[in-house]
Amino acid sequence: MEATDTVIKIQNISKRYRTVNALNDFSLDIPRGTIYGLIGPNGAGKTTLLRILAALISPTTGQVWFENEELTRSPSVIQRKVGYMPDFFGVYPDLTATEYLEFYAGIHGIPRNKHKRVISDLLELVDLNAKRDEMVETLSRGMKQRLCLARALVHDPEVLLRDEPASGLDPRARVELRELLRTLQDMKKTIVISSHILLEMAEMCSDVAIMQEGRLILSGGVDTVTHRLGGSRQLEIRLLEQERVSEAIQLLKDMAEISEVSNDEGTTLLQAEFSGDDAAMSRILAELITKGLPVVSFAPRSSGGRLEDVFMSITEGSTAS
């Protein structure tokens, strides 16, 4: 990645609250246009980091750069580039959805003659056009979440910061939210989200940073992180006939890219530890088919599950990067 692709550069920041160190010498580069996930257990420092990035609190030590602007020197400039969505809704129930967005457009300094168009576009983006004149208190939790997202985007920020975006949402609302984030990514926005729901992060994010006790343990692309730490991916292969399972195990064990094969007795599902690229995976599948093995399904295990394994393994002790 080139230096110019970095939109946020966090350099050795620490944050101390009286007796607690929320962040400890934390450094991270966030590339432009990514959906960057901050993963960590409760108390890892995710919310503190997001609040620092939103220029709501200052780091005790260290620096944060947004392109060429240093956060502590020009917080108001940074706040124009950042849209922040905390993990709570924070709405005014006695306003309509339009009035709610009108208020935020006003306090973000958007000229009054542009309000109508901006609000209309945002309501369309979050699919709340039909609810534009409804009181906020009558909206469902998912709708309020989408309205808050529209609020965070009202000044067209380059970076969107979201703390625990899917907490308390039903599955449908989560899917809608994920789609929305993808749309925003297509709009060239950089999105930084925090969560401890790893499956969801693996599905949403292009890059992740794993945090523990205020320290960065590992960061990079989702596949890179799982690959680097786990050293291998897991393949799940399901056969049609149980009689051919032992033959398939033997064949897989003979392959260089497969380190271990396991199978629960009485099932047709094989799990193989695989270290190789997509081409190697394709070769393995071709080999199985050539040998006439009846393969029903052949897929790498979802990175969410792998990420969970990685996360569990590295946060088990006090491993530091």
Q: Is 106 in the site for another protein (CB under 8 A)?
A: yes
Tell me which stretch binds another protein (CB under 8 A): 87-95, 259-267, 268-276, 284-292: 87-95
Contact status: 228 vs another protein (CB under 8 A):
yes
| Cα(113)–Cα(23) distance, integer angstroms | 43
Size of the site for another protein (CB under 8 A): 61
d(CA 262, CA 277): 21
Asked if 232 interacts with another protein (CB under 8 A), we say no
Residues 139-158 that bind another protein (CB under 8 A): 151
* Under 8 Å between Cβ of 289 and 248: no
Of 116 and 253, the one with the shorter C-beta distance to another protein is: 116
b/e map of 16-50 (b: 16 or more CB within 10 Å)?
eeeeebbbbebebbbbbebbbbbbbeeebbbbbbb
Q: Which of 21, 89, 197, 230 binds another protein (CB under 8 A)?
A: 89
For 189-231, give the DSSP string: -EEEEEES-HHHHHHH-SEEEEEETTEEEEEEEHHHHHHHHHS
Among 75, 142, 294, 300, which residue interacts with another protein (rule: CB under 8 A)? Answer: 75
Nearer to another protein, 104 or 311 (CB): 104
User: Is residue 95 near another protein by the rule CB under 8 A?
Assistant: yes
Residues 32-71 as x/- pattern, contact with another protein by CB under 8 A: -------------------x--xxxxxxxxxx-x--x-xx
- Which residue type occupies 34? T
- How far is it, in rounded angstroms, from Cα 29 to Cα 220? 9
Q: Give the residue with the Cβ less far from another protein, 61 or 267.
A: 61
d(CA 229, CA 52): 28
4, 18, 112, 279: which one binds another protein (CB under 8 A): 112
- The H-or-E segment that residue 97 falls in is helix 97-107
> What are the E-state strand segments in 32-176?
35-39, 61-66, 69-70, 82-85, 159-163
Interface with another protein (CB under 8 A), residue from 32, 99, 230, 298: 99
Q: What is the DSSP string of 142-207?
A: HHHHHHHHHHHTTT--SEEEEESTTTT--HHHHHHHHHHHHHHHHTT-EEEEEES-HHHHHHH-SE
Nearer to another protein, 23 or 143 (CB): 23
d(Cα 179, Cα 220) in Å, to the nearest integer?
A: 22
Q: How far apart are CA 214 and CA 320, in angstroms?
A: 11
Residue whose CB is less far from another protein, 219 or 234: 219
Task: Tell me the residue type at 152.
Answer: A
Residues 164-193 that bind another protein (CB under 8 A): none
Residues 257-316 that bind another protein (CB under 8 A): none
Nearer to another protein, 141 or 291 (CB): 141
Radius of gyration in angstroms for the set of CA atoms belonging to the chain, rounded to a whole number: 23
Write down the least CB distance from residue 270 to another protein, Å. 30
For position 138 contacting another protein by CB under 8 A, the verdict is: no
- 107/256 with CB nearer another protein: 107
Catalog residues that contact another protein under the rule CB under 8 A: 3, 9-12, 26-29, 51, 54-63, 65, 68, 70-73, 75-76, 79-80, 82-84, 86, 88-92, 94-95, 99, 102-109, 111-112, 151, 216, 218-220, 224-225, 228, 321
